[in-house]
Copies of this chain bind each other. A is one copy, B any other.
Amino acid sequence: MMEYKRLKRELVAKGSIIDYYIDTMQIPNGNTEQWDFIKHKGAAAMVAIDQDGNLLMVRQYRNALERNTLEIPAGGLNPGEDMKTAATRELEEETGYRSEHIEHLVDINTTVAFCNEKIGIYYATDLIESKQHLDENEFLKVERHSISELEKMIYAGEITDSKTIVAVLAIKDKFGTNGIA
Protein backbone atom coordinates (compact mmCIF):
# COMPACT_ATOMS: atom_id res chain seq x y z
CA MET A 1 0.00 0.00 0.00
CA MET A 2 2.88 2.37 0.71
CA GLU A 3 5.88 2.99 -1.41
CA TYR A 4 8.91 4.16 0.44
CA LYS A 5 12.35 4.10 -1.09
CA ARG A 6 15.66 4.53 0.70
CA LEU A 7 17.86 6.70 -1.49
CA LYS A 8 20.91 6.70 0.77
CA ARG A 9 22.19 5.41 4.15
CA GLU A 10 25.07 7.36 5.65
CA LEU A 11 27.05 6.26 8.69
CA VAL A 12 27.32 9.12 11.18
CA ALA A 13 29.17 7.32 13.99
CA LYS A 14 29.98 3.84 15.26
CA GLY A 15 29.36 3.37 18.98
CA SER A 16 30.15 0.60 21.45
CA ILE A 17 26.76 -1.14 21.20
CA ILE A 18 24.97 0.79 18.42
CA ASP A 19 25.80 2.52 15.13
CA TYR A 20 24.08 5.72 14.09
CA TYR A 21 23.04 6.33 10.46
CA ILE A 22 21.05 8.99 8.63
CA ASP A 23 18.79 7.59 5.92
CA THR A 24 17.55 9.70 3.04
CA MET A 25 14.03 8.46 2.25
CA GLN A 26 11.72 9.08 -0.66
CA ILE A 27 8.21 8.88 0.79
CA PRO A 28 4.93 8.00 -0.99
CA ASN A 29 4.03 11.61 -1.92
CA GLY A 30 7.42 12.03 -3.61
CA ASN A 31 8.97 14.19 -0.88
CA THR A 32 12.42 13.46 0.48
CA GLU A 33 13.15 13.24 4.23
CA GLN A 34 16.08 12.42 6.46
CA TRP A 35 15.36 9.76 9.06
CA ASP A 36 17.47 8.54 11.99
CA PHE A 37 18.47 4.88 12.02
CA ILE A 38 20.14 3.20 15.00
CA LYS A 39 21.59 -0.19 14.12
CA HIS A 40 21.74 -2.79 16.90
CA LYS A 41 23.13 -6.33 16.79
CA GLY A 42 20.17 -7.90 18.60
CA ALA A 43 19.74 -9.26 22.12
CA ALA A 44 18.14 -12.08 24.07
CA ALA A 45 16.43 -12.35 27.45
CA MET A 46 15.33 -15.15 29.76
CA VAL A 47 12.44 -15.55 32.18
CA ALA A 48 13.76 -18.02 34.76
CA ILE A 49 11.04 -19.58 36.92
CA ASP A 50 12.07 -21.33 40.14
CA GLN A 51 10.33 -24.23 41.92
CA ASP A 52 8.15 -21.78 43.90
CA GLY A 53 6.96 -19.96 40.77
CA ASN A 54 9.18 -16.94 41.44
CA LEU A 55 11.12 -15.20 38.68
CA LEU A 56 14.87 -14.58 38.90
CA MET A 57 15.38 -10.86 38.32
CA VAL A 58 18.46 -8.65 38.12
CA ARG A 59 18.80 -5.18 39.61
CA GLN A 60 21.42 -3.02 37.93
CA TYR A 61 22.34 0.60 37.22
CA ARG A 62 21.15 2.00 33.90
CA ASN A 63 22.99 5.12 32.86
CA ALA A 64 20.36 6.05 30.24
CA LEU A 65 17.72 6.29 33.00
CA GLU A 66 20.13 7.47 35.74
CA ARG A 67 18.76 4.87 38.19
CA ASN A 68 18.70 1.18 39.07
CA THR A 69 16.19 -1.00 37.27
CA LEU A 70 14.68 -4.43 37.91
CA GLU A 71 14.82 -6.56 34.75
CA ILE A 72 14.85 -10.13 33.53
CA PRO A 73 18.37 -11.39 32.68
CA ALA A 74 19.39 -10.28 29.18
CA GLY A 75 22.26 -9.22 27.00
CA GLY A 76 23.49 -8.58 23.49
CA LEU A 77 24.22 -11.39 21.05
CA ASN A 78 27.83 -12.46 20.64
CA PRO A 79 29.02 -12.67 17.01
CA GLY A 80 27.30 -15.60 15.27
CA GLU A 81 25.30 -16.51 18.37
CA ASP A 82 21.59 -17.42 18.06
CA MET A 83 18.96 -15.91 20.37
CA LYS A 84 18.28 -19.05 22.44
CA THR A 85 21.99 -19.67 23.08
CA ALA A 86 22.46 -16.03 24.09
CA ALA A 87 19.47 -16.09 26.47
CA THR A 88 20.74 -19.33 28.05
CA ARG A 89 24.25 -17.91 28.42
CA GLU A 90 23.04 -14.62 29.92
CA LEU A 91 20.90 -16.49 32.46
CA GLU A 92 23.89 -18.44 33.74
CA GLU A 93 26.31 -15.49 33.65
CA GLU A 94 23.98 -13.09 35.44
CA THR A 95 22.17 -15.35 37.92
CA GLY A 96 24.32 -18.47 38.33
CA TYR A 97 21.52 -20.79 37.19
CA ARG A 98 21.16 -22.88 34.07
CA SER A 99 18.39 -25.06 32.69
CA GLU A 100 17.83 -27.82 30.18
CA HIS A 101 14.19 -26.84 29.76
CA ILE A 102 14.05 -23.68 27.71
CA GLU A 103 11.18 -22.57 25.48
CA HIS A 104 10.56 -19.56 23.26
CA LEU A 105 8.12 -16.99 24.65
CA VAL A 106 7.93 -13.99 22.30
CA ASP A 107 10.12 -11.66 20.23
CA ILE A 108 10.02 -7.88 20.43
CA ASN A 109 11.37 -4.91 18.52
CA THR A 110 12.08 -2.40 21.24
CA THR A 111 11.59 0.91 19.42
CA VAL A 112 10.50 0.64 15.80
CA ALA A 113 10.51 4.34 14.88
CA PHE A 114 14.29 4.54 14.67
CA CYS A 115 16.01 1.28 15.71
CA ASN A 116 16.19 -2.33 14.47
CA GLU A 117 16.90 -3.84 17.89
CA LYS A 118 15.20 -7.23 18.26
CA ILE A 119 15.08 -9.14 21.55
CA GLY A 120 14.22 -12.84 21.63
CA ILE A 121 12.58 -13.70 24.96
CA TYR A 122 12.70 -17.30 26.29
CA TYR A 123 11.64 -19.00 29.51
CA ALA A 124 13.42 -21.60 31.59
CA THR A 125 12.12 -24.04 34.20
CA ASP A 126 13.79 -26.81 36.29
CA LEU A 127 16.64 -24.47 37.20
CA ILE A 128 19.99 -26.02 38.11
CA GLU A 129 22.41 -24.18 40.40
CA SER A 130 25.62 -23.33 38.59
CA LYS A 131 28.04 -20.42 38.90
CA GLN A 132 27.50 -16.71 38.24
CA HIS A 133 30.26 -15.24 36.09
CA LEU A 134 29.81 -11.56 35.41
CA ASP A 135 31.98 -9.57 33.02
CA GLU A 136 34.75 -7.69 34.80
CA ASN A 137 32.83 -4.44 34.39
CA GLU A 138 29.34 -5.80 35.16
CA PHE A 139 27.65 -5.27 38.52
CA LEU A 140 24.21 -6.54 39.39
CA LYS A 141 22.15 -8.09 42.17
CA VAL A 142 19.87 -11.11 41.77
CA GLU A 143 16.38 -11.02 43.34
CA ARG A 144 13.39 -13.38 43.27
CA HIS A 145 9.85 -12.07 42.90
CA SER A 146 6.44 -13.64 42.35
CA ILE A 147 4.51 -12.85 39.19
CA SER A 148 1.88 -11.01 41.30
CA GLU A 149 4.56 -8.81 42.90
CA LEU A 150 6.09 -8.03 39.50
CA GLU A 151 2.69 -7.20 38.06
CA LYS A 152 2.06 -4.71 40.89
CA MET A 153 5.47 -3.12 40.27
CA ILE A 154 4.64 -2.76 36.55
CA TYR A 155 1.38 -0.89 37.15
CA ALA A 156 2.99 1.17 39.95
CA GLY A 157 5.69 2.35 37.52
CA GLU A 158 8.49 0.62 39.48
CA ILE A 159 9.27 -1.70 36.56
CA THR A 160 9.37 0.16 33.23
CA ASP A 161 11.73 -1.89 31.04
CA SER A 162 9.75 -2.98 27.98
CA LYS A 163 11.23 -6.49 27.56
CA THR A 164 10.60 -7.20 31.26
CA ILE A 165 6.99 -6.01 31.13
CA VAL A 166 6.32 -8.04 27.97
CA ALA A 167 7.92 -11.11 29.59
CA VAL A 168 6.00 -10.90 32.88
CA LEU A 169 2.63 -10.22 31.22
CA ALA A 170 3.18 -12.96 28.61
CA ILE A 171 4.11 -15.55 31.27
CA LYS A 172 1.02 -14.60 33.28
CA ASP A 173 -1.09 -14.63 30.11
CA LYS A 174 0.07 -18.14 29.22
CA PHE A 175 0.37 -19.79 32.62
CA GLY A 176 -1.42 -17.66 35.24
CA THR A 177 0.09 -16.08 38.34
CA ASN A 178 1.63 -19.36 39.53
CA GLY A 179 3.80 -19.55 36.44
CA ILE A 180 4.50 -23.07 35.32
CA ALA A 181 6.17 -24.27 38.51
Contact = CB atoms under 8 A, between A and B. Distances in A.
Contact of A107 (B28, B43, B160): B160
A86 to B, nearest CB: 14
Number of copies of this chain that the complex holds = 2
Contacts of A6: 63
A162 B172 contact: no
A126 interface: no
A63 B35 contact: yes
A18 B1 contact: no
Interface of A: 1-2, 4, 6, 12-13, 15-18, 20, 22-23, 25, 27-29, 31, 33-38, 43, 59-65, 68-69, 71, 76, 106-118, 136-137, 139, 141, 151, 154-155, 157, 160-163, 165-166, 169-170, 172-173
A160 to B, nearest CB: 5
A12 B18 contact: no
Contact of A17 (B4, B17, B36): B36
